[in-house]
Amino acid sequence: MITQTFVDTLYDSYKNQKALKKEVFPSDINLDEAYQVQHAFTEAKRENNECLKGYKISMTSPETQALFEAKEPLYGQMTDKQITG
């Protein structure tokens, strides 16, 4: 189960540019929970004046999906502070 405390820890790390130890991350998280974390994390960014600007899609080839035992491409939200140019 993903908690708000975990999302807060991720956001604090992002905001303060601090690396997190791998022990912080749940080892039994499933794909649906991972996307829930991603959406909650993006909501935390929005609440702190970042604006959703687009999406990034990764692992689009069968080769990269095989490297991570994925069945489909992954996506993530991008905010104005993550886009340059």
pLDDT classification of 1: cutoffs 50, 70, 90: low
Residues 14-65 pLDDT 10s: 999 999 999 998 888 888 898 899 889 999 999 999 999 999 999 999 999 9
Separation in Å, CA 64 to CA 8, 33, 57, 71: 30, 22, 12, 10
Confidence (pTM): 0.76
Measured CA to CA, the distance from residue 60 to residue 52 in angstroms comes to: 22
Percent helix / strand / coil, the chain, rounded to 5: 50, 15, 35
Its domain, for residue 75, covers 4-82
Tell me how far apart the alpha carbons of residues 47 and 49 are, in angstroms, rounded to a whole number: 6
Q: Structure tokens of 63?
A: 């080769």
SS3 (DSSP) at 45: helix
Domain count, the chain: 1
